[in-house]
Chains A and B, each alone.
Chain A
Amino acid sequence: MTRFVERHPAWALIIIIAVAVALWLIFAVWPPGLEEAVGRKRVFLNALFNGITLGGLYFLVASGFTLIFGLMRNVNLAHGSLYLFGGYVGYAISASTGSWILSFIVAFILTALVGVLLQVLVFRRMEGQDLRQTMVTIGLSIVFADLMLWACGGDFYQIQTPNWLIGPIELPLITAVKSSGEPVYLRYPLVRLVIFLASVIIGIAMWLALNRTRIGMIIRAGVDDRDILAATGVRIQIVFVLVFALGAGLAGIAGVVGGTFQSLSPGEDIRFLLASLVVVIVGGMGSIPGAALGALIIGLAEQLGSVYIPTYAIVVTFLIMVLVLALRPQGLLARR
């Protein structure tokens, strides 16, 4: 942190000012002039919260993607299919048992199993051939998409939100002041906040597991140089299978999350594949904090963009990617 400030004083100043402005926008009661210029504060806060929670979902999808890439140099373009598969599994479980929590567990286990099978049966056979692996994942994503269309049809599915999470809660953020002087607080769906908290917890747990445990140390060593790691006697194939299972399982969990606060249908796989691509390009390939930062930026850009410049929302996302590629081709938080 201090090193960053020392090395880039101008950028640090810009970031501090931006954070201060954002905090003021969130906590202060907007003066009437500002409300006239950009619209109601409630709309802004809603878009902001939607963006942050969407960022949480993107993080869940992209972290698995970036983890698999970081260790195995495998651009898994079937990651979107794993997301959709997890979502459908979650829907089936929650529709038959009524348990939302159980649907997460089963979705995680089943998609992780698919990931293990992919790694053992397919990717192990073509280790080191990046391009061929990527082609295979493209073929697999086509096959999976059609199999899922076959099994589930083209309908929209939405996973039932459990009763204890339905409804909005009031947040201690003032959106406006009534003429009587009574403040109006922001009301926001509880389920999205819970899901966002869960993705933050998963992110922190992943960070801790990677940085504070032995297996995490092995994985980080593998990201840096997997040949030397294998030479030191680590059974790297087991590590690969484990990481692939974890990455796929995270995509499965994300599918259940996405099925709860959005919906599941054919085509969502490509949407989330694109989202994770952009997120990891922006954040930096193979970096978990990068995935978190990228997911937050892209989620916010998408939601704020769709509120304030509706027809060009996708262009904003794209421009961010272009800007990052132009200034820092390796991504914001990548080391190399």
Chain B
Amino acid sequence: MSVTHDARIQVRSAASTAQRQAARGWPDINNPAAWIVGAILLIMPLIANGFFLIEIFATTLILGTIALSLMFLAGYGGMVSLMQLTIAGFAAYMVAVFGVSANTNISLGWPWWLAVPMALMLATIFGTLGGALAVRTEGIYTIMITLAIGAAFYYFTNQNWAIFNGHTGINTVSTPHFWGVDWRWDIPFYYVVLAVAALCYFAVDYISRAPFGLALQGVRDNPRRMAALGFNVNAHRIAAYAVASFIAGLAGVLQVWNYRQISPGSVSVGACIDVLIIAVVGGITRPIGPYIGALVFVLLRTFALDFLVRIGLDGNRFRLLIGLGFLAIVFWSSDGVIGLWQRWRQSQGRQADRPGGGHHG
């Protein structure tokens, strides 16, 4: 039942000390590419102008964080949840309801440092309850139930006027403003988003190597054996939902600050499925995947129209492009862009090993 109890078993069952140390270390520290990407992200405001900074990179990081919560569930827990965007949207709605907005009849007007923890707590509870419902079934049923939850929430926000203000949603949500900085200005906001995304990324990276994460991966691979070893399978799954809900909730708070409004359109079924597409296209085996997928998605969404028009096609066929790209990824690579990259690296390595093979460098 308790996670500490599980941890003891896990440590004992680790094959060797060397292996354990490798698993405990931060794999990114020795990777120069990771340092370069980190440095570029940090000095991004010097390179990119306001449009790229917010519309491309901040949006990518927010969407990537929502998809990261799905990646955590799907990659480590084996549970494909389509309600992660719904949880993010719920957190966003809660920020708008408890905080300050133009809809004074709905918003309670709490300061942001009170509204945000409240929203995060409620979103985590909401996601955990949804997860507790979803873990009663397995595999593909999880997709169906979480999709049904997401769709029900979408229709509910459309119908409910007392809290969610129907299909117009809640507008002009105020953003935090302290220490003389308006945190919705482009550059401060970018750093806030970057900090939260980095925090979530490293948290997921850490959990995946912590006892809880290892037990979760064991549950994914063989729930029956884990249950026989004394692990509470469902408790682990629900705990995974709680973690993922918290991450999605954080991203939801950033999302409502980014657009300053929230409406049912932001939690529609199509948007829920977009999160799945982002995670799958990027690759759901490693936490970096969702961010790559989000970058691809946001770039396509922003520039597909111009691109399609330039090559003489109808610019409105952006979703067709996304759908076909998704189909291609699902068909050719079960591990998204990361998988393609790894396969390419391996084939390069094999060529280099061969005598007289092509050199690389």
For chain A, residues 301 to 336, give those with C-beta under 8 angstroms from any C-beta of chain B: 310-315, 317-318, 321-322, 325-326, 329
Query: Is B133 engaged at the interface, CB distance under 8 Å to the other chain?
Result: yes
Query: Is A138 engaged at the interface, CB distance under 8 Å to the other chain?
Result: yes
Neighbouring A residues of B326 by C-beta, 8 Å: 135, 138-139, 142
Neighbouring A residues of B330 by C-beta, 8 Å: 132, 135-136, 139
Query: Are A130's CB and B162's CB within 8 A?
Result: no
Neighbouring A residues of B292 by C-beta, 8 Å: none
- Chain B: interface secondary structure? helix
Query: Is A105 engaged at the interface, CB distance under 8 Å to the other chain?
Result: no
A273 to B319, CA, bound (A): 19
Neighbouring A residues of B161 by C-beta, 8 Å: 311
A2 to B160, CA, bound (A): 44
How many A-B pairs have beta carbons closer than 8 Å: the answer is 104
Query: Are A274's CB and B269's CB within 8 A?
Result: yes
Query: Is B193 engaged at the interface, CB distance under 8 Å to the other chain?
Result: no
Across the interface, A75 reaches (CB within 8 A) one of B144, B277, B319, namely B144
Query: Are A136's CB and B331's CB within 8 A?
Result: yes
A145 to B273, CA, bound (A): 13
Please judge, given known A-B contacts A142-B326, A143-B323, whether A270 and B136 are in contact too, CB under 8 Å: no
Query: Are A311's CB and B160's CB within 8 A?
Result: yes
Question: Looking at the complex, which of B11-19, B30-38, B151-159 is the stretch in contact with chain A?
Answer: B151-159
Across the interface, A146 reaches (CB within 8 A) one of B162, B269, B317, namely B317
Q: B155 — nearest CB in chain A belongs to which residue?
A: A314
Query: Are A314's CB and B317's CB within 8 A?
Result: no
Query: Are B327's CB and A325's CB within 8 A?
Result: no
- Chain A: interface secondary structure? helix
Query: Are A274's CB and B147's CB within 8 A?
Result: yes
Query: Are B280's CB and A317's CB within 8 A?
Result: no
Across the interface, A143 reaches (CB within 8 A) one of B136, B316, B320, namely B320
Query: Are B280's CB and A135's CB within 8 A?
Result: yes
Query: Are B156's CB and A315's CB within 8 A?
Result: yes
Query: Is B148 engaged at the interface, CB distance under 8 Å to the other chain?
Result: yes
Query: Are A150's CB and B317's CB within 8 A?
Result: yes
- A150 → chain B, closest Cβ, in Å? 7
- B80 → chain A, closest Cβ, in Å? 7
Neighbouring B residues of A135 by C-beta, 8 Å: 276, 280, 326, 330
Query: Is A134 engaged at the interface, CB distance under 8 Å to the other chain?
Result: yes
Neighbouring A residues of B269 by C-beta, 8 Å: 270, 274
Query: Is A71 engaged at the interface, CB distance under 8 Å to the other chain?
Result: no
Query: Are A270's CB and B140's CB within 8 A?
Result: no
Query: Is A57 engaged at the interface, CB distance under 8 Å to the other chain?
Result: no
Query: Is A256 engaged at the interface, CB distance under 8 Å to the other chain?
Result: no
Question: Looking at the complex, which of A158-166, A204-212, A277-285, A288-296 is the stretch in contact with chain B?
Answer: A277-285
Query: Are B159's CB and A314's CB within 8 A?
Result: yes
A146 to B148, CA, bound (A): 22
- A282 → chain B, closest Cβ, in Å? 10
- A89 → chain B, closest Cβ, in Å? 20
Neighbouring B residues of A140 by C-beta, 8 Å: 323, 327
Query: Are A311's CB and B273's CB within 8 A?
Result: no
Query: Are B152's CB and A146's CB within 8 A?
Result: no
For chain B, residues 307 to 344, give those with C-beta under 8 angstroms from any C-beta of chain A: 314, 316-317, 319-320, 322-324, 326-327, 330-331, 334
A326 to B319, CA, bound (A): 37
Neighbouring A residues of B139 by C-beta, 8 Å: 130-131
A147 to B320, CA, bound (A): 7
Please judge, given known A-B contacts A136-B330, A138-B273, A142-B326, whether A314 and B156 are in contact too, CB under 8 Å: yes
Query: Is B143 engaged at the interface, CB distance under 8 Å to the other chain?
Result: yes
Query: Are A278's CB and B159's CB within 8 A?
Result: no
Query: Are B323's CB and A325's CB within 8 A?
Result: no
Neighbouring B residues of A278 by C-beta, 8 Å: 148
Query: Are A139's CB and B327's CB within 8 A?
Result: yes
Neighbouring A residues of B273 by C-beta, 8 Å: 138, 142
A143 to B133, CA, bound (A): 30
Query: Are A321's CB and B148's CB within 8 A?
Result: yes
Query: Is B145 engaged at the interface, CB distance under 8 Å to the other chain?
Result: yes
Query: Are B148's CB and A274's CB within 8 A?
Result: yes
A77 to B152, CA, bound (A): 16
Provide a sorted-by-A list of 21 A–B residue pairs whose CB atoms are within 8 angstroms: A75-B140, A77-B147, A130-B139, A135-B276, A135-B330, A136-B327, A138-B277, A139-B277, A139-B324, A142-B319, A142-B320, A274-B152, A280-B144, A281-B141, A281-B145, A310-B159, A311-B162, A314-B152, A314-B159, A325-B133, A325-B137
Given A139-B326, A140-B327, A274-B151, 16 more A-B residue pairs with CB atoms under 8 Å apart are A139-B323, A139-B327, A142-B277, A143-B320, A143-B323, A145-B319, A146-B320, A150-B317, A270-B151, A274-B147, A281-B144, A317-B152, A321-B145, A322-B133, A325-B133, A326-B133
Sorted nearest first, the 9 A-B pairs with minimum C-beta distance are A142-B323, A143-B323, A139-B327, A318-B152, A146-B320, A314-B155, A329-B136, A274-B151, A139-B326
